[in-house]
Amino acid sequence: MEQSRVRSWFRMGASAIFAAALGLGAYLGYLQLSGNFHKVIDGELYRSAQPGAADIETYAKTYGIRTIVNLRGEDDKAGWYAEEVSAAKRLGLTHLDFRMSASRQLSEAEADRLVTMMRDAPKPILIHCRSGSDRTGLAAGLYSSEIAGMSEEIAERQLSLYFGHIGIPVISSAYAMDRTWERLEHHSWRDRIALLTTDIDL
């Protein structure tokens, strides 16, 4: 009787795990099919997966996008890159490249360059990587914290499952984005600039 109850619990647990995994897979699939487009700050910053030419035109007309920040880096041999650059040029948008890898942490210097790029770019900005989940999440978090002045708690929500980001140590290579955020959130871009300015004044 006891063994039967244990087997029943095991089957229910396995079914629940399977249903959760199926639901998660369906949600992640939906994000990619929908372009994983989201507003970060209305009229200022938006995020997405890799956009096609039609997507770029739609985002520009609907949200007034003036700058695209491509976090995949320049790739003249790739069709997606040529399409993106061509669409940006045709629509009169500023196009900026910043190469990142979801499996490698950003250094403080790299993070500073990215923050400066986003700070100085004409707004509104669309930032994207391939899936719009990991690299884009870190960039959106840095913008929210370092440029928009949001709290760390709110800013780090940009790196969440809601956007398709799975930051689990060992299991997910994209955990490098979480590690970068944890390292940088205690040494903000504004604080580093203030220290540099103080050193110059002295």
Q: Give the pLDDT confidence of 58-93 residue by residue, as tens digits.
A: 999 999 999 999 999 999 999 999 999 999 999 999
Residue 201 pLDDT exceeds 60: no
Whether residue 9 is contained in a domain is answered as: no
Token digits for 130? 């391939």
**Residue 140 is part of which domain span?**
35-201
Domain count, the chain: 1
Residue 195 has pLDDT above 80, yes or no: no
Q: Give per-residue pLDDT as tens, 115-152.
A: 999 999 999 999 999 999 999 999 999 999 999 999 99
Distance CA 146, CA 191 (A): 9
The CATH number of residue 97's host domain is 3.90.190.10
In a domain? residue 190: yes
Predicted TM-score (pTM) of this structure: 0.79
Residue 53 included in any domain = yes
In a domain, 75, yes or no: yes
Classify residue 128: in a domain, yes or no.
Answer: yes
